[in-house]
Amino acid sequence: MAPFFVLESFVKFLHVEKRFSEHTTIAYKKDIEQFLEFAEITKIEALSEVNHHLVRSWIVALIDNGIENKSVNRKLSSLRSFYKWLRKENITVVNPLVKIRGPKSSKRLPSFVKESELKVENLNQFFSDDFDGIQDRLIFEFFYQTGIRLNELIQLKDSDIQNDSIKVLGKRNKERLIPVSNDLTSKIIEFKKMKQGQRLNALFFFSLKNGNKLYPKYVYRKIHLYLTIATSIEKRSPHMLRHTFATHMLNNGAGLETLKDILGHANLSATQIYTHNSFSKLTSIYSQAHPRGSKDKL
């Protein structure tokens, strides 16, 4: 059995048993293929000959080629999972990743759009009154008002949309309920009426005009277009609106535990990165409110 077939079995394991998304399994496969090519592994027996020295050489090569530390660590995570599976399947005995530590990643603060740039009166002019315009506006609001992920939004079905909440199937197939505002509810009702008027009987809540399922690039292009009009920020994507949702929630008094549950984070550390952005607002408030907070008052 060649390494290629072993890798295909591993990818199937990730998809079927671990229930990883297609996007994630493709990323794992590419990472491991890169290592197999670097290590010149063409036979299954060679998988057992890999040691930590070879893995470290791969890390050095990746860094020398300009790969960021964060990406290097992601590739190591893929390789770790692969070798854990190989041991479980009795294909190898030793895991060469045991002695490996990845390079330190510098945590970049997530960028976000200013609240003033997302005022309702500013956004109204961007969207048309036809099916595409109303759906685009609702998709935009879903990202901004719920912090939903791109793949989660695409997978939403009519049965997931309630009067006061939406049911989301997140990573690792974990379900969560996200509350929705009265404003979002009214937009949902308007959209449902339009779907009924067009007799659009699609499987998913959001769809193309012909009823087919939305695809990631379609949604990305739409959000990128509207954010280009609304803001001068460099990164313009659905995930940017997720960052914006989280930052604005914290800035306006939401607790970390609450935000963690809404975002679907597995642990609190993933949510805490947004506190850095919120701290800048706290600093601004402190400067304005405290008698000695501003340098001008000294």
Which member of 195, 242, 248, 260 is catalytic?
Answer: 242
Judge whether 205 and 180 are in contact, CB under 8 Å: no
Tokens of 230: 């609304």
What is the number of other CB atoms lying within 10 angstroms of the CB of residue 132?
13
Q: Environment class of residue 96 by beta-carbon count within 10 Å: exposed (0-12), middle (13-18) or buried (19+)?
A: buried
CA distance 25 to 28: 5
Containing 169, the helix (H) or strand (E) segment is: strand 165-169
> Annotated catalytic, 215?
no
Which member of 75, 83, 137, 149 is catalytic?
Answer: 149
Q: Phi first, then psi: give them for residue 237, nearest 5 degrees.
A: -150, 170
> Annotated catalytic, 274?
yes
Judge whether 293 and 283 are in contact, CB under 8 Å: no
> Annotated catalytic, 242?
yes
> Annotated catalytic, 276?
no
- Tell me the one-letter amino acid at 36: L
Which residue is listed with tokens 């009154």?
129
List 165's β-bridge partners, or say none.
Answer: 179
Q: Phi first, then psi: give them for residue 245, nearest 5 degrees.
A: -55, -50
> Annotated catalytic, 239?
yes
Helices of type H across 206-273? 216-230, 238-251, 256-263, 268-272
| Residues 6+ away with beta carbon under 8 Å from 8 | none
What is the number of other CB atoms lying within 10 angstroms of the CB of residue 149?
19
> Annotated catalytic, 224?
no
Which member of 171, 224, 235, 281 is catalytic?
Answer: 171
Number of H helices, E strands in the chain: 13, 2
**Catalytic residue list:** 149, 171, 239, 242, 265, 274
